[in-house]
Amino acid sequence: MLTFMKILHFFGLMLGAAGGMGGMMVAIQAKRSDGAPPQGLLALRPRFTLITLIGVVLLWLTGLWMWLVQYDGALMSTAFVLKLLAAGFILVVAVLGFVAVKRASPGTPPPAYLQKLGPLAGLASYLAVALAVYVFA
């Protein structure tokens, strides 16, 4: 079962990374356009925020399962606690991004705070992967 959960954990990682990268590319391209960005480009925004959210939720569900069932919820080490903090931050940003894009009227750019938090969540995901490998290698 741990192996299965770990495979799903990595699927979550792939989805989260794909959604995050895609969303970043859309943001860059939208900023580059003269005048209003093309509709086809903007239509990708909610798709990428949904893919990111599904990936992050999958990481959390499988991560919580592995942590509670396999490791009895032990804090293990500072590196693991830092990984959880990074994962918590990523989850908050993924939810905020999903909600903001869902609520935004078509064509409006994402709120300024998200344009700052998005890249930070990207950095946090590199940190979470590095810490996970360090802790579980």
Nearest one of 98, 86, 99 to 135, comparing CA atoms: 86
> Any idea of the CA torsion for 42, 47, 51, 53, to the nearest 10 degrees?
80
Contact between 9 and ligand HEM per CB under 6 A: yes
Burial of 7 from C-beta contacts in 10 A (0-12 / 13-18 / 19+) = exposed
Q: Which of 66, 95, 100, 104 binds ligand HEM (CB under 6 A)?
A: 66
Element (H, E) at 101: helix 78-103
Q: Which of 33, 70, 108, 115 binds ligand HEM (CB under 6 A)?
A: 70
Contact between 78 and ligand HEM per CB under 6 A: no
CA dihedral over 27, 45, 111, 94, signed as positive or negative:
negative
Segment interacting with ligand HEM, rule: CB under 6 A, options 37-45, 60-68, 97-105, 107-115? 60-68
Contact between 11 and ligand HEM per CB under 6 A: no
Residues that bind ligand HEM (CB under 6 A): 2, 6, 9, 13, 56, 59-60, 63-64, 66-67, 70-71, 84, 87, 90, 125, 128-129, 132-133, 136-137
